[in-house]
Structure 1
């Protein structure tokens, strides 16, 4: 309620006008305006915000009804309280029907409480007007809101359909729904919404609806439909609309066409299947990966590592590291964490090769692979990694290496490889100034063994002696067959004295061993130590001289020899 009320008193009887003004002028909250003709009424209304009009019905040249009509024509809604003469009750009824808020008889002017009664009527009229204005504003806002909502849903490119819980009866569809499905609105309204979708979706749709509650008011699902012979896909969101008691009053479904998206997805799936078929047609193992994840593999890769699918492989990728064999010159198990791409860049990837070895579960055989890296594109950090099985080549290479470095009969180093290792040992001794000793020994009377028992027995003696020696010396000692029945042992970080002790131990071990057929075999040993002036030839020559002296001294003994200086 306003603190001050502007009241316009209209009467062409100046005595009554002044009487009313004096009487109501005592009321502080009332601000009074006076008019004795209709023209002045409109002038005052134009220049002031009048809250209520107290109007005499009978005025010169115009009646109260006529003046009210003129006010309405000018869209004026100020509440009017009509002053009537005595015996005008029937007229007053007419006045009320014409739109006056209330009326009061002039005969009450003489009453003591007239001013109080009239003030209450004015206050009630103003209050009623404010409530009516507020109601009109709310109603207008609601109408505008509904109009906006209606305009939005009717013109929206979103499919909208609403239905009641009872029998899933459709209560509303928007224009876009009708256009999209090529249906008439009135042919759909009142129908069961299930009739508008394929039967295959009925159970899932009812399940979505039944699970909607005030706590879980929204659900989403995808539907494939056929319209005019064309397949279409929509993504729908269904939402519950609840009353004040939390009961479902209505359901609203809003859908968006995702046909283009689904077609694109299907095209991508077709392309993926096509590319997968190309990958699977390759005998080599192939993966597509970045440094953190494998995205695609071919069936050869899955089968080799025992995976059921790409998902199975991604979940159990550690199995690949477990199957990787740690070998010098090959990629390590740790490298699998970055898909073997740790040091590979897009610029240098093309044509790069790495070697890797795997041992399949339950197998002792090692499979060797050459890995080739190719960038998938310049823009991305993804690569195609191709594994070519080079096991046969690797085994053949090792066979050639063995032939080049190992004695075919005894499987210890041959002369060529020993000379390489001796040269390296001499360089280390010079660089680090540590001791280096050499033992040269052969089998006593080996020619007699061959002549007496045959070369096969002789070969067996050589192999057994080699095994016995290998078990006796250190793992770090270099043991080689020099030729025939002659052998060399290179002993690093060992003085001449200690090397002689080792040779003596070996001599006794061989002498105490019972060989087949021959029974007892003895060996003679020559031992020397490296001198900075030595060459490979002088070092071996001095060991050979020591061996020769041991033989001349009666065989089956150890002779040590230092380099003569001075």
Structure 2
């Protein structure tokens, strides 16, 4: 490849069935710094132009083969923007009209002066580059998300406005070309505005930022952040006004303020203490309930650690917290523990603490929900000494309570337990032995109960349970052995129905794994799934899988033509078609935008190709009201030893774009 001044020389495709002409022209162009590639037929020209970088095509009109130069050019420019110059000895009006149809940049007469040929080539390349830059600028200008206004320095009338400005302000381009910025800025008079512009004209400032209010054609007002700059275009002074619509930002700010106020009200109205510690163990949030439970005001505790509350010196507390923080970082799920604490006045408190870890601004924070259980503890001790008082309290308790003897026969069960388990009555429930009943053995309660009674220690655990009466619940169980003079005589089981809490946690977990629009898995989950599949094959040293990446063809055109709501419906229908064809073991995810990926476990590329071809055909047959046919392009790759997530994705992506280049609505593997 010829290199001039560190840049690639321009490559010209010469299409002529005359070997002599091709040789002479090729040698001449090569001698003048160009790189040439020669072919003799139109079919070859189309193949070359679509498969290699070409900067310009010199094309004879009359060619050997079935395809002439005009048809070859028509097919090439359908797929690639390459300038075409025709060789011809025929300059009839019919030939000239055909050249215009394919947007040729011109023609040269066969046998003409070589200097004129060289001049035509250079002029065409320069013109094509200028056209490309103009198109790029216009696209950037028109598609810029913010409003752009360009106006004359003297008349202040608009010279150009982009699509965003026309859409938001409500005036047509024709109307705006007769207006000035003062017509849409009600708070500015001409003198004040001119003073602002003079600071730019004099060079005092390069650009000016200020907030303003624009008035739409319908009279409505909206806030903007405006950036004014001076442009010098062809010796003429123009001003550029870039306006950012602050409506949504202001609304979000108001909404955020409202939510912060609401959150603050909720936190401070909670009956339980809510405390947040930063990674150093210092308090960053301390609600009203915490003040009431521990006696310290917010001002006294913020920025300090809690060593005084747990009866430790500061150094020991810091070491303990660091150990706890490191352990919690590995398992951020909330854990509930019971500990003793000290009130500011010195008396001892029994508290139940539910702790979770959360990253806030890349800093790991500990969130503690603290419930003062001092009264409950005292009540539990009194219940052991007074069965009557115990039963009176237990009957109305908001939690399930079961008492059993040392053989795990049920002695007492309260009404809340019946409600939680769906039992028809107390006597029916008492027939169950907590150690031997099959369902309790199956779900692990029997073993846990035995462990607590054998070790004479409290046990707290959670379990998913379906009772013999068909009630499905998620339970938090507190098992406390009952003892007399050191000998375990039975146990007390407290049952807390946390089904709603677990369902909420599961819903939140599901939201973090799925795409909000299509309800298939999201990119983050898919990458994790792909990593697991690769690791599984590596450990077993056997097995395979295939990965498919697909992209909806011309999706931007669908959005532009029918609107984003229709585009969203296309994506939903597409995922419906795919999910109803692939296996449950396969994994479908939205990679981003209109791109999707499919992981097919234990599937070779040949089997995957057969399935993907079915999917391609099914998608092309989807029926959407008011929408032409929808197609997709696919890339399929099979796992090979040594592949990584990145290498597999890259291969599938490359193959998918090969399918795009091959005309779309096809599969490449």
What range describes the TM-score normalised by the shorter chain of this pair? 0.3 to 0.5
Task: Give me the TM-score of the superposition, normalised by structure 2.
Answer: 0.39
TM-score (norm 1): 0.46
* Structure showing greater Rg: 1
